[in-house]
Structure formats: C-alpha cells, structure tokens
Amino acid sequence: MVGKAKWKPLELPLPKKIVNQKQYRIPGGIAEITATIKDLKDAGVVVPTTSPFNSPIWPVQKTDGSWRMTVDYRKLNQVVTPIAAAVPDVVSLLEQINTSPGTWYAAIDLANAFFSVPVHKDHQKQFAFSWQGQQYTFTVLPQGYINSPALCHNLVRRDLDRLDLPQNITLVHYIDDIMLIGPSEQEVATTLDSLVTHMRIRGWEINPTKIQGPSTSVKFLGVQWCGACRDIPSKVKDKLLHLAPPTTKKEAQRLVGLFGFWRQHIPHLGVLLRPIYQVTRKAASFVWGLEQEKALQQVQAAVQAALPLGPYDPADPMVLEVSVADRDAVWSLWQAPVGESQKRPLGFWSKALPSSADNYSPFEKQLLACYWALVETERLTIGHQVTMRPELPIMSWVLSDPASHKVGRAQQQSIIKWKWYIRDRARAGPEGTSKLHEEVAQMPMVSTPVTMPSAAKHAPIASWGVPYDRLTEEEKTR
C-alpha cells in the first residue's frame, strides 16, 4: 500500500561528493530482499539505474526470524547537508498531549509515508544500490536517508494545515503519525472521518486496520493513552523485562536508548543507568560486570513498577519534588486537587550535573537542580503556582534578600540567575523541604502526604556529653 502525495517531486540537497560502496557480504535474507525489490519495482518505488553512487543493502532480522531489507545510507548521510530540524521533539509532543483538554482519542498512521513522496528525477541517483548484478535507485524518499523524516513531516504538516478543525479538537502530528484529542466520542469520530478523507484526497494512503478510535484508550508514539493518563504498554514492559544483557558496546548503547525513551515514567533513571552508560562511552572499554548486571535488574524492576502519568488538570496545583543523587539532579512533578491527599505523577526527570559542579556545595547543587527542574517542566508548569519541595531547605534563602549571593564555588551571576528564576516561578512547600526523593518510586497513585514536622519537633541528633574534667581516668584514655 503506497500512496502518491500530491506534491511536485522534491529537489534535494546534493551530496558534497560521490559515495560508492560495494555490497558487502550479508548474513541472510536473500530471498526476502529479492522479493522486496520486486514488489518495490512493481509499485514504482525503485527503478533500474546506472549511477556513480552506490550504497550497500543491509538486511535486518525480525523477531520472527524473517528479514527486512534496508539500505545502509550512513556514508551518504555524512556528505549530505542536513535540513533544519522540522520534526518536533517526541517528549514535547507527549507533554502537549498531556496538557490538551479532552479524554477521547483517535490515531492514524500514513502507510509507507516516505515512499509516498516523489523525488525529482535529477536527484534520484544518489540513492542507488545494487542487487544480483543490477543497480536500482529510489524514485521516492528512502528510509535511512538523513533528510527523509524532516521532508516527509513538513509535507504532511502542510496538508494538515489545509484541514479545518473544530476549535475543541487538538491535532498532534509526528512524521506519519497523527492523533486527535477531543471532548466527546462523536466530535472525535466526525473529525476523524474528515481527516481520513482529506489525507486520502491529498494522495496519502491509510490502512483501515491501523485506524484507532474514537476511544478513551489508543496507542500513539509508543505510549498507551488511557483516558487522560499515559502508561508504558504491557507488551513494552514485557519486552524490557526480558532484554538479554548486552555483549558489545553498541548493544549497550541500544539498551540505554530503549530505556531512555520511557525516562519520564521511571524515577531516577539516569542514576540507575549510570553504570551501564559508563561502559558505552567512547573512551571506555566494554566490560559487562556485576555492577552493570545489577543496574539492569534495577531498571527492569523500576519499569515494572512504573506508574501511569496524569491526568493533567489545569485547575490543580503542582508540586515539584527536587533532589540531588550523587552526580545527578532528580525531580518529579505531581498534582493533587486542593484539599485532597491523593496526588498523581505527571513525570520524572534526571540530568547529570556538569563537571564544574564537582566543587559545588550541596546547597549550590540543590539550587541548580531546582532551577533545572522549573526550566525543564516549564511547558507543564507555566502559568501555574508551583510548590517547590527540594531535599535541602533552600527556599527560605531564595525568598530572602541576602547581602551577598556568594554561597560557595559557583559564579555569583549563576547563583543570582538560579535564585531569581526560582523565586519568580515557585513557592516554598511545608517547612521548605521535602521527604527523601528516593521514596517517589514506591509512592502509590493514592497516597497520604508526609507531614513535615517543624524543626522544634525533631529529636536532637546529638546530646551533650559529660565534661572532660568529670571523666574517670579510664574514660579519658578511651
């Protein structure tokens, strides 16, 4: 199923030089590749050619043992000027969905979207590849080409801009995936019909079996949206639970990436992954030891315990829990209706502290962590009153006007910037402090908040001893 988008053939950035790679030996998939090329040729997606360019075919084995054909355009991509990023950040899109009103959803994906975008004949030869003595090239945007996502996303976006949407319907778009959010089943259903009809008129193909909704639960961008909540799909949890330990640095990098996609669902993910990340660094030798194995088990357990995020309610106040764990700033965002004890998570984040923070005092690290937490969650928290609950009681100082802002090794202008941003965006929580952030991972969806006792109620951490001159001779020698 290949569409023909109604846009004139694209003129692409020309490579800075010719790239010609011979076909290397492949591990399998010869029959599948031959059949795929025949199907693509019949659909007009590839045509025979003679070109000075050539990129090797690389088959990718699927979980069922079959093979999928890909072309390795990595060398070509190195000599192509990347188009300015037009594809939105996935995390930003997830936050947009999280803050959009409406609990009814619909989702579609455009079938073979890249193959639906024609490429000008004069720009096709750079995509050449060889198979069984014949050279072919793509007449459309190929998968693996560095600019295919941005070019495809832009054309789909321009077609979507031609669609008149009701004011109470939100449309979210990422390359070939499109989601509708609305207040009722009927309104989403009506808009979905209009969307499908419009995109088909514009030449895009949509597989009817891939249309989701209208429903209160759909899968979009790999996330399961249930009502106004988003969760890690059970199939994904099962897959992550049964990941085998990596045997190479590349496999370890892929493992970090797989878990990293779900970072907003997993408290302290950066801290948990650090032992694995350390063996993926360029200068590091890959050694998978007990520390890495333990880290993998901890991350897998955290995934299984991950809470659904949301629902987001613009009327409810927000609480930002912030702490510093070794070399990482860690924070989480929560909401609870006024006067109620139930609170729900909106997301978890972590970020490695810069090397310059090695000499920072705990107070300075906490200040930087709070600044980062407000900046990184701004899309969700802007316009809201945010209660800041740092692990260290910094809020009294933030709200004060000290004679000097020099509190340690950090540059004074940085301290001032952090302080005034926090002061402008947040207010202090109970006693200006927070319970230990490590408890966040075990916090149930319905919980009773911890009441922070005042300093006067704390039992003293030490008591006065007997004066030295009153000690016995034996006690003096201890």
**CB within 8 A of 190, min separation 6: which ones?**
none
Contact by Cβ (8 Å): 333, 320: yes
Specify whether 330 is located in the same domain as 366.
yes
The pLDDT value recorded for residue 442 is 44
Specify whether 105 is located in the same domain as 197.
yes
Range of the domain at 440: 318-453
Specify whether 162 is located in the same domain as 239.
no
Domain of residue 103, CATH code: 3.30.70.270
Alpha-carbon distance 394 to 389, whole Å? 9
The closest of 401, 331, 399, 397 to 364, measured between CA atoms, is: 397
Treating both helix axes as pointing N-terminal to C-terminal, what angle do 412-425 and 362-376 enclose, rounded to 10 degrees?
Answer: 50
Is residue 240 a part of any domain in this protein? Answer: yes
Domain C-terminal end among 195, 229, 263: 229
**CB within 8 A of 164, min separation 6: which ones?**
none
Tell me the pairing of strands 212-215 and 217-220.
unpaired
Residue 21 neighbours by CB distance under 10 Å:
16
Is residue 167 a part of any domain in this protein? Answer: yes
Specify whether 95 is located in the same domain as 179.
yes
pLDDT tens digits along 70-105? 899 999 999 999 887 678 877 778 777 877 778 889
The closest of 371, 380, 372, 315 to 347, measured between CA atoms, is: 380
Q: Report the number of distinct structural domains present in the chain.
A: 3
Alpha-carbon distance 373 to 390, whole Å? 10
Domain C-terminal end among 256, 274, 304: 304
Specify whether 209 is located in the same domain as 299.
no
Sign of torsion over alpha carbons 10, 16, 18, 19: negative
CA 262 from chain centre, in angstroms, equals: 6
Is residue 120 a part of any domain in this protein? Answer: no
Is residue 175 a part of any domain in this protein? Answer: yes
Specify whether 335 is located in the same domain as 421.
yes
24 secondary structure, DSSP code:
P
Is residue 156 a part of any domain in this protein? Answer: yes
Treating both helix axes as pointing N-terminal to C-terminal, what angle do 269-278 and 249-260 enclose, rounded to 10 degrees?
Answer: 170
Put the strands of the sheet holding 134-138 in their side by side order: 46-48, 134-138, 129-131
For 142-196, give the secondary structure using H, E and C. Answer: CCCCCCHHHHHHHHHHHHHCCCCCCCCCEEEEECCEEEEEECCHHHHHHHHHHHH
Specify whether 401 is located in the same domain as 324.
yes
Q: What is the pLDDT along the chain (478 residues), one digit of tens a residue?
A: 788 999 999 999 889 999 999 888 887 778 888 988 999 999 999 999 999 999 998 877 666 666 778 899 999 999 999 887 678 877 778 777 877 778 889 999 999 999 999 999 999 999 999 998 899 999 999 999 999 999 999 999 999 999 999 999 999 999 999 999 998 999 999 999 999 999 999 999 998 888 998 988 888 877 777 766 778 888 888 989 999 999 999 899 999 988 988 888 888 888 899 999 899 988 888 999 999 999 999 999 999 998 888 777 777 888 899 999 878 999 999 987 777 777 888 889 989 898 888 889 989 999 999 999 998 888 777 767 788 888 888 888 888 887 677 777 788 888 888 988 888 888 776 544 444 443 444 444 433 333 333 333 333 333 445 444 555 655 545 5
**CB within 8 A of 376, min separation 6: which ones?**
331, 349, 351
Domain of residue 243, CATH code: 3.30.70
Is residue 155 a part of any domain in this protein? Answer: yes
Is residue 310 a part of any domain in this protein? Answer: no
Specify whether 365 is located in the same domain as 393.
yes
Domain of residue 337, CATH code: 3.10.20.370
Specify whether 261 is located in the same domain as 346.
no
Alpha-carbon distance 276 to 290, whole Å? 11
Is residue 473 a part of any domain in this protein? Answer: no
For 305-338, give the secondary structure using H, E and C. Answer: CCCCECCCCCCCCEEEEEEEECCEEEEEEEECCC
Specify whether 334 is located in the same domain as 424.
yes
Specify whether 225 is located in the same domain as 243.
no
Alpha-carbon distance 251 to 370, whole Å? 34
Specify whether 284 is located in the same domain as 180.
no
Domain C-terminal end among 181, 203, 229: 229
